[in-house]
Structure 1
Amino acid sequence: MKLHLSAPSETLIKSDIAITGSKSETNRLLLLQALFPAIKIENLSNSDDAQVMQEGLQISSGTVDIHHAGTAMRFLTAYFASQENKEVTLTGSKRMTERPIKVLVDALRSLGAEISYKKDEGYPPIAIKGKKLTKTQVSLPANISSQYISALLLIAPSLQNGLELELVGKITSVPYIKMTLGLLSQIGVESSFEGNTIRVSPKSEVVASTQVVESDWSSASYFYSIVSLCEVGTEISLSAYHKDSLQGDSVLQEIYTHFGVETTFEGHRIVLKKVGNPKDSSFTFDLANAPDIAQTIAVSCYGLGVACYMTGLHTLKIKETDRLEALKAELTKLGASISVTDKTLTLEASQDFVKDVAIDTYNDHRMAMAFAPLALKTSLYFNDAEVVSKSYPDFWRDMEKLKFQVKTV
């Protein structure tokens, strides 16, 4: 599906948007629910990834196809490896077979798991024969994707002796690790995170509870970007969010103050208001703890005509696409001067907007949504616009609520 997107007739927007549950929290809680059925979950994400995770957890044998869902690949690898009498082949899209899984497989094998590669060493598809894992100690490089770490932590309470996980080196994506430990705590699992060692105690059963998933802060990022590019006085209200969020992307509240956006909490709603212009002409951000909002911030900076330098982006190379190269390609089409390395991005200040550019989305939901706010500056086309369903199926409908002109080509 190809879409044409253009700005509302007025850029002083006032609107309310309801965003469904966080994909990150949903997939963690779904795995915990599979291990501990006494858990009930409300406000589940309606994303493709959450649907794939739910379907995968119901399979006991045969092939489990997770399509583009990287979180499901990592979490289900750990889940099936620890489940006796379950034997599956875990596979996905062509891009998924290019995304490494070796670090997690090696860690699970060291705990006694039986996992083999069906094609290329270190990559899906993988064959898993579930076993009772009794070993308790494992180590992982600390600078890898937090999803590998969280995959092990989520199955840890179901292991007979729990788990002691040592992270070797400098830890990145700490908020996602803390999110996982926070959710474990909410269901009554004891854990500790001291220095580079995480310990999770075993738990044979948990007390029945209802876990309510907070709405997704990553999805909120696109509205922060929209507000930043609109007139002073613009207000968008989003639900439902917590002041004490477990999500690392809640750092948006602080980052977007640099771009003149103020965040206030009204009950479980946040109100984003444009109160001024960018404070500086150039910004530096270390996004090691929140890499998923890098695309949104880069696009906001370009739309505002400010320069930025971003570090801590090494995990973006192995996402749905190589997000750094994709950002470079699409922003360059629009007229930007941008350079990237394997872990940094440099954008020069510019406001030369090429009109009617077709944005390629690379099978990456965030490429589509991060670029959409630029329709406030220039009309755009989006190739394969339906990719947003991976995390936010209602995105284009919500853009229409803000009076953006959304037309299928």
Structure 2
Amino acid sequence: MHITLQKSKIAKQSSVEITGSKSESNRLLLLQALYPEFELANVSNSDDSCLMTDALASSSEVVDIHHAGTAMRFLTAYFSIQEGRDTVLTGSKRMKERPIKILAEALQDLGADISYVENEGFPPIKIKGKKLTKHQVTLKANVSSQYISALLLIASKLENGLELTLEGEITSVPYINMTLSLLDEIGVESSFIGNVITVKPNTKQLKSKTLTVESDWSSASYYFSIAALSEVGTEITLSSYKENSLQGDSVLVDIYKHFGVTTVFNDNSVILKKEASILSPLKLDLKNAPDIAQTIAVTCFALGISCDLIGLHTLKIKETDRLVALKTEIEKLGGTVAITDKSLHLSASENIKELVSIATYNDHRMAMAFAPLALKTPIIIEDAAVVSKSYPTFWDDLKSIGFQIIPNQS
């Protein structure tokens, strides 16, 4: 279904409740599968987390996780230690193009039995679950932090724990720290010194508790963008968020000061306030928060300022090649974009074309990142339902704050 977003103006004061972080939810769902003594609250209602939940509960030999990249990485590790169980882990056409070899080889070095069903290095993969006794492994650290987190999440269930040595520049450090913090929260001991992460084995039953998932900062990014494009004096309240968040995308608080958005923490909520700003060119290294690159690029385009975004090498292996997709769609709107395999340069542009149809490439973040443009010009979003991957109620929430959205009949 395509939708048309008419040129909109949001309420001066509005509020939105956002469900739990997909990143935290998927980590905690796996840990709960390993340690059933835990209860979870405010779990993400995203497609990815629903797929993760279903996969962990499934007794089928074939587990299909569709577009859920995090689930593919985490479950590859999880099924490797399910003794006596054979599992074929597969996904969508795009998932079969996303590499898994680096993680599979690390698990094989630990003793896992993993083979490729179709193409070497890519899903689907066949996993014969077994007891893993080796505990030392080396992993390239500059590809995807999800490979690292996948190993860390199962580490305490390995007979001798895990000593993980990281090679090269480490990507998305906040997501690694998130995983380690969650391990600490449930009572698993770990350390991260230099380029070596150690997780101790755990054989005892852990103390029962309820773990509450913080709301998703990636989802909050679209409201930061909306605030930036709104009139001075606009306020948007979002819940539930922590000032000392584990999520790397909480850097939005600092980044969006550049666009005149100040953030006030109030109990479990944040209030985004639009104040006057000097719109100067922006340079950012987003290696620790690549998921907000699309939002920031569109914000800059809408405000007519140039930006240089680097540290984006992981965007090429997401739901789509996000760098190519951004270039294509922003240039449809009248912008000028240059990309490399790890950076994006947007030139300042004064005019935005009206009623451009934005392709979303099966990528939820493409749909949501471009939606705030409706505060400047009417636009069409193709395949709008793709947002369910991470934020199923996104369009309803936009309507609730004043966006005018019309389903296309064609």
Fold match by TM threshold 0.5: yes
What is the aligned partner in structure 1 of residue 135 from structure 2? Answer: 136
**How far did 1:175 drift?**
0.2
- Native 8 Å contact 1:6 1:375 kept in 2: yes
SS in 2 for 1:158: coil
- Native 8 Å contact 1:12 1:231 kept in 2: no
Structure 1 counterpart of 2:252, one-letter code? L
**How far did 1:257 drift?**
0.3
Distance 1:51 1:12 in 2: 32
**How far did 1:87 drift?**
1.0
What is the aligned partner in structure 2 of residue 68 from structure 1? Answer: 67
**How far did 1:281 drift?**
2.1
**How far did 1:12 drift?**
5.3
**How far did 1:14 drift?**
1.5
- Native 8 Å contact 1:23 1:45 kept in 2: yes
Distance 1:116 1:59 in 2: 21
What is the aligned partner in structure 2 of residue 389 from structure 1? Answer: 388
Moved more, 308-317 or 205-214: 205-214
Distance 1:121 1:11 in 2: 50
What is the aligned partner in structure 2 of residue 323 from structure 1? Answer: 322
Deviations 1:334-386 (A, max 9, x none): 00011100000000011211111110000000000000000111101111100
Distance 2:140 2:211 in 1: 31
> What residue ranges of structure 1 are gaps of 5+ in the alignment?
none
Distance 1:360 1:86 in 2: 41
* TM-score, with length taken from structure 1: 0.98
- Native 8 Å contact 2:306 2:347 kept in 1: yes
Structure 1 counterpart of 2:388, one-letter code? S
Distance 2:7 2:353 in 1: 15
Aligned 1:41-52 pairs, distance under 5 A: 41-52=40-51
Structure 1 counterpart of 2:138, one-letter code? S
Change in 2 beyond 3 A, CA 1:134/1:61: farther
What is the aligned partner in structure 2 of residue 210 from structure 1? Answer: 210
What is the aligned partner in structure 2 of residue 154 from structure 1? Answer: 153
Taking only aligned residues, the RMSD between alpha carbons, in angstroms, comes to 0.8
What is the aligned partner in structure 1 of residue 262 from structure 2? Answer: 262
Q: Note if 1:110 corresponds to 2:109.
A: yes
Structure 2 counterpart of 1:202, one-letter code? P
What is the aligned partner in structure 1 of residue 185 from structure 2? Answer: 186
SS in 1 for 2:133: coil
* TM-score, with length taken from structure 2: 0.98
**How far did 1:11 drift?**
4.7
Structure 2 counterpart of 1:220, one-letter code? A
Distance 1:59 1:138 in 2: 29
**How far did 1:59 drift?**
2.1
Aligned 1:79-90 pairs, distance under 5 A: 79-90=78-89
SS in 1 for 2:61: strand
What is the aligned partner in structure 2 of residue 33 from structure 1? Answer: 32
**How far did 1:181 drift?**
0.2
SS in 1 for 2:198: strand
Aligned 1:165-314 pairs, distance under 5 A: 165-204=164-203, 205-277=205-277, 279-314=278-313
- Native 8 Å contact 2:309 2:344 kept in 1: yes
Distance 2:363 2:80 in 1: 28
**How far did 1:13 drift?**
3.1
Deviations 1:153-173 (A, max 9, x none): 000011111100000011110
Structure 1's consecutive aligned runs of 4 or more residues displaced over 6 angstroms after TM superposition are none
**How far did 1:280 drift?**
4.1
Deviations 1:255-279 (A, max 9, x none): 00000000001100000000112x3
Deviations 1:125-169 (A, max 9, x none): 000110000100011111011100000000001111110000001
SS in 1 for 2:119: coil
Distance 2:380 2:75 in 1: 36
Deviations 1:62-102 (A, max 9, x none): 11000000000000000000110221100000000000000
